[in-house]
A and B are shown apart, each in its own frame.
Chain A
């Protein structure tokens, strides 16, 4: 599914791109699996979180990738705090 919303990449150096549900879904599944969540549960959580992010996006024409990360992390936290922690930490580990 592709929404008509432009995603401004981190730092604004790379060109904007359109939102891809699958990309967000995969990143949330990966975060859940990283904390050894069963695959089925990870898929379910990713579906729920992705839906929540999409409904948040529908009202906005342009957002940054960081905004999406924050909103996804916020929703993920209510379903799986440990996965949300790793999802949030991903870019600030090194």
Chain B
């Protein structure tokens, strides 16, 4: 695979990651509590910036950790069965996202363990300092690990085949793109848009977001399967 092709896969995986909504939900809730508690706009911005920073750092850590583990386990040549597992994971999670991502009720409740949702909700309410907001950002990425595991694993599999410099570029691309939806909400809040408008948009378009995330995973899984499993097998026979 060419460097450009590898980076394109990483970018698509990151875009799918960005379409997952748990961190956006927590950021919306955090802003609501901060504004409702009469904090100044500067403090609201500090809290939300720290949250986005925390989410970015945790994404970076998870991606580099998975890449490191894969490098130690498989070295520089990834066996085909690992690509097959990776693409299977992408397609499996894609179908699961299509079927289950949002709960069938009003609002934007997600199919994550309710204990995790309650923990994040309680922590959001208790967050007063930037360091707490940073920690909340870290936790929210862990909370959606069940969904982001597939794009992260496939990105890590692609990353370990790149030159060290391009690995850094790849990690950077993944982290920046995966924060896209968070940054959009952060900018909207910072520029004075009301939370009700943001939340209403999210609620009205939740099934589209669900469809887009699931489809993105399926397309990525199919592409990786054809490119890395089927291609070499047919080409080699």
Contacts and interface: CB of A to CB of B under 8 A. Distances in A.
Contacts of A35: 194-196
B110 A94 contact: yes
B109 interface: yes
A58 interface: no
A86 B199 contact: yes
Interface residues of B, number: 30
Interface string B200-218: 1001000000000000000
B26 interface: yes
A41 B224 CA distance: 56
A46 B120 CA distance: 27
Given A30-B36, A33-B38, A86-B199, A93 B29 contact: yes
A39 B197 CA distance: 20
Interface in B18-33: 22, 25-26, 28-29, 31-33
B117 interface: yes
Nearest to B38: A33
Interface in A69-94: 82-83, 85-86, 88-94
Interface stretch (B67-75, B100-108, B127-135): B100-108
Given A34-B32, A94-B22, A85 B199 contact: yes
B126 interface: no
Contacts of A8: none
Q: Chain A interface: which size bin?
A: 10 to 19
**Chain A: interface secondary structure?**
helix
A34 B117 CA distance: 21
B199 A94 contact: no
B96 interface: no
A31 interface: yes
Interface in B76-130: 105-110, 112, 117, 120-121
Nearest to B22: A94
B5 interface: no
Given A29-B36, A30-B36, A86-B195, 14 more contacts: A30-B37, A34-B195, A35-B196, A36-B35, A39-B38, A82-B197, A85-B196, A85-B199, A89-B108, A90-B32, A92-B106, A93-B107, A94-B29, A94-B108
